[in-house]
Structure 1
């Protein structure tokens, strides 16, 4: 158990130990274990937003290569910079972009304990100013919530250290994107709007800062080695023009009828 907050603890003798006692005699050196590239690295469960959570196994070599490459090129990491991903390490974003990706390229990665609105709504911006954060990666839900609190909570803090800001976890609406770019990034920081999944382990679609034109709400281009494809329900690739069947209840609404969803594959 970690002595962190000073609160009373439900202690069970014979089961619980203090972390500082258990680690006092442990060496700082840790000899690495040599692994095969296809050896399992970890199993992480999907979020369950589209069905029952599924356990996803990522292997050592492929996952670490993707984590390192995407960390290096999506965020254009430079030696000595401070990078902060606000995710929880229990989710794949935290796994890949707090722990494995940054550490694989020797980056300085910031780990945050708490929520963006406690003890006040400027907590994120306070941390950025305190630690001179250069690269900042957070979720659209947080961006929208902080947008609703107003600009002053942001602008009262120095954010001149920021160079690149990013979005992860869900689509970001254009209004939130514009505010993020204009207020948080002072209109000068590129936004890397990323798309990926627990199953992929790392970024699949993203703009590259300085290389791609940015468009609010669009993740834009596939990352290196990624070839996007549309598949039908049988798993066959769809080529050319296709019609995507929507929810008939929704499409029957006067708001949408007689519109049709058509995309160019």
Structure 2
């Protein structure tokens, strides 16, 4: 899942082009779901790429959870590299997600039945963005 681009510091970051480059030597991905966001020109792989607006409205709202091992990789985030070469930090599923869900719920008083909307100004590329835009908020069933 990607989008055509994203804005950062007044310029469009070519996310779709980055995905295309990352997948150039990989034969594991059947489809790339692309959201039109910035309306920048993008490359298109006819047999692989699919527009979000063509498929999401037709999709079922039901999505069963997939069982995961507690130590299964959740995401890899790289340090900034300010003290040398960036280092990849692997976060696993249960420990990270359970703790961020707990801290988000109790720090921000999140309640799924309270018609809340949560906003975090952090960058998704930082650990705070991962924690309090995605992994800590979604298990609490609060839109972000």
Which TM class, normalised by the smaller chain length? 0.5 to 0.7
Aligned twin of 1:153:
none
Aligned twin of 2:75:
42
Aligned twin of 1:30:
63
* Corresponding residue SS for 1:43: strand
* Alignment TM-score, normalising by the size of structure 1: 0.36
Aligned twin of 1:76:
109
Q: Which aligned pairs between 1:213-252 and structure 2 lie closer than 5 A?
A: none
* Alignment TM-score, normalising by the size of structure 2: 0.62
Shift of the 28–107 alpha-carbon distance from structure 1 to 2, 3 Å rule, reads closer
Aligned twin of 2:13:
none
Shift of the 80–45 alpha-carbon distance from structure 1 to 2, 3 Å rule, reads same
Aligned twin of 1:67:
100
Structure with the higher strand share, 1 or 2: 2
Structure 1 position 54, deviation (Å): 1.0
* Corresponding residue SS for 2:115: coil
* Corresponding residue SS for 2:95: helix
CA distance in 2, matches of 1:70, 1:105: 11
Structure 1 position 75, deviation (Å): 2.4
Structure 1, unaligned runs of 5 or more: 110-265
Q: Cα deviations across residues 173-220 of structure 1 (Å, max 9, x unaligned)? A: xxxxxxxxxxxxxxxxxxxxxxxxxxxxxxxxxxxxxxxxxxxxxxxx
CA distance in 2, matches of 1:84, 1:62: 23
Structure 2, unaligned runs of 5 or more: 1-33
Structure 1 position 36, deviation (Å): 1.8
Q: Cα deviations across residues 13-71 of structure 1 (Å, max 9, x unaligned)? A: 52543222243543222111111212221111112222211111111111111101111
Shift of the 75–26 alpha-carbon distance from structure 1 to 2, 3 Å rule, reads closer
Structure 1 position 104, deviation (Å): 1.4
Aligned length: 108
Structure with the higher helix share, 1 or 2: 2
Give the structure with higher Rg (CA).
1
Q: Cα deviations across residues 212-244 of structure 1 (Å, max 9, x unaligned)? A: xxxxxxxxxxxxxxxxxxxxxxxxxxxxxxxxx
Greater CA drift, 86-95 or 23-32:
23-32
1:2 lines up with 2:35 in the alignment: yes
CA distance in 2, matches of 1:74, 1:65: 14
Select the residue among 83, 92, 99 that pairs with 2:134.
99
CA distance in 2, matches of 1:108, 1:8: 27
C-alpha RMSD of the superposition: 2.3
Bigger RCO (CA 8 Å, 6+ sep): 2
